Amino acid sequence: MSDDLEPLSVTEGIERFLQARESELADSSLNNARTRLNYFQEWTVDREIENLNTLTGRDLADFVAWRRGQIAPLTLQKQLSTIRSALRYWAKIEGVSKGLAEKLHSPELPDGAEARDEHLTADEAEDILQTLSQYHYASPRHVMLSLLWATGMRRSALRSIDVDDLRPDEHAIVLKNRPETGTKLKNRDAGKRWIYLGPQRYNIVEDSLDHPDRDDVFDEYGREPLLTTVNGRPTGDTIYTRVNRATQPCEYGECPHDIDPKDCDARGRDGYPSKCPSSVGPHAIRRGAITDHLNKNVMPEVVSERCDVSLAVLYKHYDVRTDQEKMNVRKNSLGELL
């Protein structure tokens, strides 16, 4: 426990957090936050944690393990988001150590756990990538969005990539399952694969290695991650937040919600990008990318292998094409038969 912290009971911490948010949230949202934090308080009582000063990253991992067996994955993510906000607030008032919120990791959602219609459209992706290419070429954000859109990979796969996994002669990257050194793929060894990027996409990845905004670091296992933070390899939650920020419409165009940037809680270094109604997470990009592949007449079997998703799950949870779009794909496939 840091000497800079002031003792703060769980009950007082929760009340202080809710009072601080009272003017910002609707009554229903405030009630939801109180309910989610009540479960956290129940767990602290069971663990005999009375002073928030003593909370550690290991404690938070234990809480996630305790709660994930009781509720649906998507519900758990929403609950952890509230607790993470509380941890950030408690850090500001010297109740918990700084950076503790970033140690509360959300488990990756299983296929189809999010709303089926939440996805990044091809037009939105094009606007984002054009803006990044023009103004932030080969930046960490550019390479992250380019890879997610071009490959439809999961965030666990994205964070697993090392510089050594680049294959310049093939314009490709290799995904490997390495749980013993901190990165595992969703489908374990069955998810291992080579992914072709093509020359243009590959050049973005290769050029990003020399970008001034990239932290040239190794992780705790001595591996050199492709995507980095000052401390090494980014967590899944860090990638989620970065994607949320990168997909805010005001980052590549105009705000569609008529919100003054000075009054927007989602903008800025201290803002919360997930509060933007139009921002999306990595899973929504994956869904949009898979749909775009299908709309461009890529065989479903190829998409299945490229994106590591079964055909049954692909059609049930990832194919968000309209009926007309599906007809157009069939029409193009029929070619001269008609």
- In this structure, what token pair is assigned to residue 28? 């229903």
- The contacts of residue 32 (CB under 8 Å, 6+ apart) are 82
Region of 128 on the Ramachandran plot (φ > 0 left; ψ -120 to 50 alpha; else beta): alpha
- Domains of the chain with bracketed CATH: 10-103 (1.10.150.130), 122-275 (1.10.443.10)
Averaged pLDDT for residues 222-231: 96
- The contacts of residue 63 (CB under 8 Å, 6+ apart) are 40, 43, 83, 104
Amino acid at 277: P
Question: What's the full length of the chain, in residues?
Answer: 338
pLDDT value of position 88: 92
* Helix/strand/coil percentages in the chain, nearest 5: 55, 5, 40
Amino acid at 128: I
Question: Which has the closest alpha carbon to 319: 286, 291, 288, 285?
Answer: 291
- In this structure, what token pair is assigned to residue 258? 């008529």
Query: Rounded distance, CA 5 to CA 100, Å?
Result: 13
Tens of pLDDT, residue by residue over 274-331, are: 778 888 889 999 999 999 999 999 999 999 999 999 999 998 888 888 888 889 888 8
- Model confidence pTM above 0.75: no
Query: Rounded distance, CA 334 to CA 243, Å?
Result: 38
Query: Rounded distance, CA 291 to CA 289, Å?
Result: 5
Question: Which has the closest alpha carbon to 76: 315, 237, 184, 218?
Answer: 237
pLDDT value of position 256: 80
pLDDT value of position 115: 46
Tens of pLDDT, residue by residue over 56-112, are: 999 999 999 998 878 777 678 878 889 999 999 999 999 999 989 888 887 766 655
Tens of pLDDT, residue by residue over 175-222, are: 999 999 999 998 999 999 999 999 999 999 999 999 999 999 999 999
